[in-house]
Amino acid sequence: YGAVEIDVCQFDAELGPVTRMERARTDVEVQGRGGTNFQPIIDYTASHSEYDGLLILTDGQAPAPSLPPHFSTHILWVCQDKTAYEAYHEWMQRLGRCCYL
């Protein structure tokens, strides 16, 4: 749909492997385990300047990360539902855009 490349990384307190999606998929499974920390994915993205966008699917239940001064990647926070959005959208919107499923 116009995206040249999409990398996927599941994370909680640490990053999982970064996997390149070669084509559209309909069988994606997202699992949550708790203990979320957004800082590792922010730091990873900051150290890879080729990324122009970061999409984070979340329940929002984690501390807000700190963005490095040079961080220029656009962030879209996608909350799992309206309740999570209402609870966390204020800090998420300071760091990017926010919506819910």
Q: Are 68 and 90 in contact (CB under 8 A)?
A: no
User: Any residues with CB less than 8 A from the CB of 15 and at least 6 apart, and which?
Assistant: 9, 40, 41, 44
Give the tens place of pLDDT for each residue, 22-68.
Answer: 776 666 666 666 689 999 999 999 999 999 999 999 999 999 999 99
CA-based angle 26:54:37, to the nearest 5?
100
CA distance 96 to 33: 24
Give the tens place of pLDDT for each residue, 72-82.
Answer: 999 999 999 99
